[in-house]
Amino acid sequence: MAYLSSLHHAPYPRLLLHHRYLFFSASSPPPVVTTRRLVPTLACHGRDLLDVMPYRDSRPSGTEGSRAGPGGAPRVTNSSTVRGNATAQEAHMPMWRERTPGTPRTWKKGDRVMLQEHAEGESQEKSWRRGLTRSLESKGPMVRKSWTRDGNGMRAKESGKVGNSRDEGTGRRNACKKMKKPPDGEYAGKLRVELDMCSKRGDVMGAITLYDSAVEEGIKLGQHHYNVLLYLCSSASLGFVQPAKSGNMGSGIASIGPAQKLDPSPSRSLGGSEGDNAYASESHVQDQGKNKADLIPGGLKAQTVSIPVEDELGDYARARGFEIFDKMCSEKERVQMSEAALTAKARMALSMGDSDMAFEIVKQMKGLGLKPKLRSYGPALTAFCNSGNVEKAFEVEAHMLESGITPEEAELETLLRASVVGRRGDKVYYLLHKFRTAVRQVSHSTAELFEAWFRSPTASKVGKRKWDAGAIAKAIENNGGGWHGFGWLGRGKWTVAHSNINENGVCLACGEKLAIIDLDPKETEDFATFVAKLAIKRERKSNFENFQKWLEKHGPFEAVVDAANVGLFSHKHLSLSKVNSVADAIRLRFTSKKWPLIVLHNKHLIGERMKKLNDHKLVQKWKQENSIYATPTGSNDDWYWLYAAIRCKCLIITNDEMRDHTFQILERNFFPKWKERHQVHFTLEDRCVTFQMPPPYSVVIQESDKGHWHIPVSEEGLLEKDRTWLCVTRQNSQAQ
């Protein structure tokens, strides 16, 4: 059995931090244990993190290291790193430690080991690994180890050199040459690089080891150092680490990770309905085996691989995390507090189930001059929902809104799950409208929660028996169509069906016609002004103002063509003939037969392309029709075609889903509505163009005057006629 031991028998958990030696009892054959990491097999430079083997494995039987020591810090193992019959020691000492010059000697604390990986057919790559690679009693000379990967796996190759020479076979750097000690700023810089690498690999214990070594050396840590350390400790305390460079937590509640659970699942908590058997076979909400239902939305896929962390290591990381946070706050350190550090502390509070602490932390940010982010509220929101405290969870949401933070689908889904489990019909109704305005089309996991709610006995008991039909109709008209906001209408069992909407906007399950939700003309005008201001900030002012003047002179247009998107359709090189085919096809749909505005960067209209006769003729034809605008060098043509389509209140022909950073800054509530009503998708095959025009209804959660609901499910790559909708109706929804 392996034990972690030290000379001074330091108590847990300090045992690991000062000596970090791994020993085995003399009675048992030592297994081969490669460097233990929390990361899966990595490609490219990740493979450079090779094992460091000791030069001598034997040690006197009477040494303290050979005896079984007391229990130490939690073991971190990975089954893929355990092999055969020898002993490996894990190296964790920092790279910045100075080496003592001199002739052949015993290995000293802080020695660095040269590693090499020789890949067949590739150039040799060198990498360094930190750490002690000698036993406590060994007196052998310092030997440079070169590690080579071949067909038989990893093997050690000794260079025969002694000392700390970096260049094998040369005398340029010999063991006697004295190295100058770098200044403190260089130490801190190297520490930052090493911590970033630990974060990128998800190496929690490596980062803690670096921290302990830095404290021992008296190196002053900065805000970034603490942010990375706290990110890793807080992630491990939650049970999963997501490798992320520089400790980037991501945004929103999804950054917490998949470790947090909500007990129990919605379908069981609601007590079952009259149609339990049918529900079990038809509903999308399935029991997750013996596991509790995940609080983190299942429909929101993580961008990085999550590395599971055992409970023992999680507890240790949390304890060290609070210790590191306290040091950051100490007067001696005088490090400026950050939102990231406070959020990490809130995540550690979540790992203990301390919802009040997590909420108090985010409340303190404003007093410290820090602006909370969406991720800042995730721990408090999750903790209250986990504990079933629905009222406090909605207090967190109210605080978010006061701080100017808009919850996204992950946060709303978390609140919805807690509300469904808590049988809070008023909160479910409120959240339906929050999803309608902020999300519009819901994920599959959110749709499952709504279906579970409507099938429950509790849902059948909520609602008004009598209401004023005239007042309902007036409210729908004032709201632009699609909802009234008067609460649940009617009583009785709900019927939930998975349906489609036909080309006329009629639900195939219930026969109701969905509404087109009008866009406020003033909102459209304000949106055009907002886009123009953003474009002028990011483009040369004169360039965009020249375009605005040109558009006023030659507009309005009935459609705008994103020529770069059209011309590159199923092609590596831009084709002007494709642009012409699409522009001509959409022109023929208009009564005026006027050519649409073609927006294209000027780099596509100069050089060799214009020497082609057909391309030259097409451009000249568009110029004669005043239907082409060439955006200038250094500009982003997205701003030009987007502004033109908004200003002219016309269609935009593009398959661009407008999700990149250019469109992320646009107003979230209005832009999706505008895009839905104005974007035209297309397909092009053998110059035959097919358009997918905007549907004659709004693809958004809709509430009818009868109290019925239609909830669209978000599905990429499907035509609107194939989109799944939840059709929710009940018989006793009649005005009195």
Across residues 493-518, what is the average pLDDT?
Answer: 93
Please give the span between the terminal C-alpha atoms of the chain, in angstroms, as a whole number.
78
What's the rounded Cα separation, in Å, for the pair 625 and 620? 9
Tell me the three state secondary structure of residue 161: strand
Residue 218 pLDDT greater than 50, yes or no: yes
Higher pLDDT, 532 or 51: 532
Across residues 33-43, what is the average pLDDT?
Answer: 38
Which domains occur in the chain, in start order? 1-169 (no CATH), 186-260+295-422 (1.25.40.10), 521-692 (3.40.50.11980)
Query: Which amino acid type is present at position 465?
Result: R
Q: CA-CA-CA-CA torsion for 187, 192, 197, 201, nearest 10 degrees?
A: 130
Encode 54-83 in three state secondary structure.
CCCCCCCCCCHHHCCCCCCCCCCCCHHHEE
Higher pLDDT, 135 or 450: 450
Across residues 594-621, what is the average pLDDT?
Answer: 89
State the pLDDT at residue 412. Answer: 95
Q: Look over the chain and give the mean of its residue pLDDT values, rounded to a whole number.
A: 74
* Nearest alpha carbon to residue 230 among 328, 313, 334: 328
What's the rounded Cα separation, in Å, for the pair 270 and 422? 8
The H or E element that residue 162 is part of is: strand 153-162
**Which range is least confidently modeled, 248-257, 275-284, 471-480, 486-495?**
275-284
CA torsion through residues 654, 657, 661, 663, sign: positive
Across residues 316-326, what is the average pLDDT?
Answer: 95
State the pLDDT at residue 184. Answer: 58
State the pLDDT at residue 685. Answer: 86
Across residues 549-557, what is the average pLDDT?
Answer: 94
Cα-based angle 280, 453, 286 (whole degrees, multiple of 5): 30
State the pLDDT at residue 672. Answer: 84
Across residues 35-61, what is the average pLDDT?
Answer: 37
CA torsion through residues 19, 20, 21, 24, sign: positive
**Which range is least confidently modeled, 58-67, 346-355, 434-443, 455-464?**
58-67
State the pLDDT at residue 431. Answer: 97
The H or E element that residue 691 is part of is: strand 688-692
Which of the four pLDDT bands, split at 50, 70 and 90, describes residue 470?
very high
Residue 707 pLDDT greater than 70, yes or no: yes
State the pLDDT at residue 243. Answer: 81
* Nearest alpha carbon to residue 318 among 237, 203, 256: 237
State the pLDDT at residue 521. Answer: 82
Place of tokens 């970090």: 20
pLDDT winner (highest mean) among 10-19, 252-261, 633-642: 633-642
Residue 624 pLDDT greater than 60, yes or no: yes
Residue-wise pLDDT for 366-417, tens only, equals 999 999 999 999 999 999 999 999 999 999 999 999 999 989 999 999 999 9
Which of the four pLDDT bands, split at 50, 70 and 90, describes residue 662?
low
State the pLDDT at residue 153. Answer: 38
Higher pLDDT, 294 or 255: 255
**Which range is least confidently modeled, 235-244, 399-408, 585-594, 625-634?**
235-244
What's the rounded Cα separation, in Å, for the pair 561 and 652? 6
What's the rounded Cα separation, in Å, for the pair 453 and 457? 9
What's the rounded Cα separation, in Å, for the pair 256 and 252? 8
Residue-wise pLDDT for 136-189, tens only, equals 333 333 333 333 334 443 333 444 433 333 344 444 444 444 445 455 567 888
Across residues 482-487, what is the average pLDDT?
Answer: 93
What's the rounded Cα separation, in Å, for the pair 574 and 453? 50
Across residues 419-444, what is the average pLDDT?
Answer: 94
User: What are the helix (H) ranges across 149-183?
Assistant: none
Bridge partners of residue 82, in order along the sequence: 33
State the pLDDT at residue 720. Answer: 84
Which of the four pLDDT bands, split at 50, 70 and 90, describes residue 210?
very high
Query: Radius of gyration over alpha carbons of the chain, in Å?
Result: 32
Across residues 344-361, what is the average pLDDT?
Answer: 95
* Nearest alpha carbon to residue 191 among 165, 209, 166, 164: 209
Contacts of 449 (CB under 8 A, 6+ apart): 266, 285, 413, 416, 417, 420
Length of the chain, in residues: 736
State the pLDDT at residue 634. Answer: 85
Buried b (16+ CB within 10 A) or exposed e, 30-49: beebbbbbbbeeeeeeeebb
Phi first, then psi: give them for residue 243, nearest 5 degrees: -55, 125
User: Two tokens at 541?
Assistant: 């002012």
Task: Count CB-CB contacts under 10 A for residue 389.
Answer: 17
Across residues 75-84, what is the average pLDDT?
Answer: 38
State the pLDDT at residue 183. Answer: 56
State the pLDDT at residue 281. Answer: 31
Whether 107 and 145 have beta carbons less than 8 Å apart is answered as no
User: What are the helix (H) ranges across 298-443?
Assistant: 311-329, 339-351, 355-367, 374-387, 390-402, 409-421, 425-438
- Give the global pTM: 0.67
Task: Count CB-CB contacts under 10 A for residue 286.
Answer: 11
Residue 29 pLDDT greater than 80, yes or no: no
Which of the four pLDDT bands, split at 50, 70 and 90, describes residue 46?
very low
What's the rounded Cα separation, in Å, for the pair 717 and 719? 7
Encode 512-570 in three state secondary structure.
CECCCCCCCHHHHHHHHHHHHHHHHHHCCHHHHHHHHHHHHHHCCCCEEEEHHHHHCCC
Phi first, then psi: give them for residue 610, nearest 5 degrees: -75, -10
% of residues, the chain, pLDDT over 90: 46
Whether 690 and 450 have beta carbons less than 8 Å apart is answered as no
User: Two tokens at 540?
Assistant: 């040369």
**Which range is least confidently modeled, 410-424, 469-483, 695-709, 721-735?**
721-735
Across residues 80-105, what is the average pLDDT?
Answer: 38
